[in-house]
Chain A
């Protein structure tokens, strides 16, 4: 049973990280242009360094 005291917090923390990442992506307007973003990864622009 001792394993539960480790596993339950671990699963909650991992899930929480996922949730925080979701909030972050939402706040950063990552879902405003899903179609454009899907195409953008195919271009070679800004492959070396991010757009300033």
Chain B
């Protein structure tokens, strides 16, 4: 007792300075890593050798206690001493030949313990065990067990079946109860009714030494439907965990400046008034005002502009913008939930909830099916009560048989089996289906709206008019460009190198952040950079300008096309879809891109609201719109479209708003997605017809009272197997 009481005391006295210097304490607390568990994504791991190389390689390092590779999720979980940093481990993995990215473990913890999936699997296992044992006994009864033997077998079946149904049927009972409370008749109401009625009537029949007991049917029903439920859950869990992994890749960290020292802290701990350092290449973690430094910032993810914007003291910056050239010190004006980035993401959530909910094919089928089954069953009960003159036992038997035989085993499996097969196929092609009904909606699309920057283009510029310049200018431009890490300069230097240009020899090279690079060439001042700084007239496309003495030359750039962009546009047009290009970028750049891809309908300079309005207008005109976009300015349009796709490089808000995420770089996969969506919707409908056909044959037999438990078992398993096989036919 006394030892325990001493500990907090000891901690307080261990840091006497903390009380007088709270900021130092906060800094120490913030910079000290609290987690000794690291989670890294290993996108290139694929084989047995990868596992042992990574695990033994990491475990040989000092400070690392254990490393475990999960090849299914392509991740490695590391337990290490608190002083091991992710950067160090990533560098070590790079030396071993593996690309690694840090994952935010907090964001992934939900997928780690997939309780719901395990629970479903456990219920499925119990139902499967019970089904096999009961079937063993049922086959004996069907093949002619008589009198006491039959009764004994029925009793044993009942003793296995009742606990099984109570345990394994819970997901159906629960959702049927919620549906009933809300005054709806979902698919689970007839399912639960059939399971409960079949079990209770069998208990009654067994008690009275009856000939027929439906224990096997009740358990089989539970098993098949749980299998469908589990498939459904798995597809969504895989999509969810992949989507979470994308989100977790952006570990939100910022460099906090306090009392002249730098500390890396989670963005969530930043407060208004803090000073944050944003290095070139970094993304603004917060909204704020620049207090020191000059640079250029890339706002394309927020506005779609492909041209970088100048940033200097007193310039307002928003979270999500990328700093390009010089370090900036930013005073935080809004952090976390108050940033414009977060507010935009919230707008999307509102837009999503307001959007008219799409009713899935399965729901529409259930809506027609549930009342029909109940009416059939009740009228069979009424008819047989009337014909037999009040034999309630016989009438209930018939109506239970009707419920069991019509029970939507096939219906419950038809959709999940097809969606699982289709999502698996698309996942291998690099498309992640996030929403269960996305495929059905994609199949209906007749108009496609593309965003430009970052969607049809990679967001990486390439010079377009190198050939117009004299070799002398080119070599000066190349020498200047090589000294900078600005994206336009990098592209220019790279292209010049590829064209075999030799850089000129310059002296006094220096970069002026936010403006460009200048130097001295044969005694003359040379500059490469912004139009105003160089003294040139700006062109209407992305460009950088060169000044050699009094001569001025402009280098124009256009974005490099994303691989598969041409194939995507022409493929979608070949499928008879109308293609639009709606971008927030300048007219020149958008016009060039539309011409290059053969898109007749384009809109430039569109504000976020105008994009959403365009989508709404197309929808109002009766079109089903597919929106493809990546920026924050696209999110409203993504949320209001019939179905939406965003690339993995998109902002988190855009990915959340979209139904499908493009994991690879190649956008041509969209054409495959559209084709597979059409086939899978056709398969789903075929499966509905197949189960309907079974019911057309089986229901009359049940209605006239000829259905035996053997019949019910045969019809149920045959239809379930047929729809599963039909789903696997997916090409």
Contact = CB atoms under 8 A, between A and B. Distances in A.
Interface of A: 1, 4, 8, 11-12, 15-16, 18-19, 22-23, 26, 31-36, 39-40, 42-43, 45
B116 interface: no
Contact of B52 (A16, A22, A45): A45
A32 B113 CA distance: 10
Contacts of A8: 137, 156
Contacts of B137: 8
B70 A33 contact: yes
Contact of A33 (B48, B52, B72, B132): B72
A39 B132 contact: no
Interface residues of B, number: 25
B129 interface: yes
Nearest to B117: A31
A36 B118 contact: no
Given A1-B149, A15-B133, A19-B129, A36 B51 contact: yes
A12 B156 CA distance: 10
Contact of B72 (A11, A15, A34, A42): A34
Contacts of B47: 39
A47 B48 CA distance: 14
B32 interface: no
Interface string B46-90: 011101100010000000000001111100000000000000000
Interface SS of chain B = helix
B129 A15 contact: yes
A36 B160 CA distance: 36
Contacts of B49: 43
B48 A42 contact: yes
B424 interface: no
Nearest to A19: B129
A35 B71 contact: yes
Given A33-B71, A33-B73, A43 B125 contact: no
A45 to B, nearest CB: 5
Contacts of B121: 26, 31
A40 to B, nearest CB: 6
A40 B48 CA distance: 6
B70 A36 contact: yes
A34 B71 CA distance: 8
Given A11-B136, A23-B125, A26-B118, A43 B48 contact: yes
B122 interface: yes
B51 to A, nearest CB: 6
Contacts of B125: 19, 22-23, 26
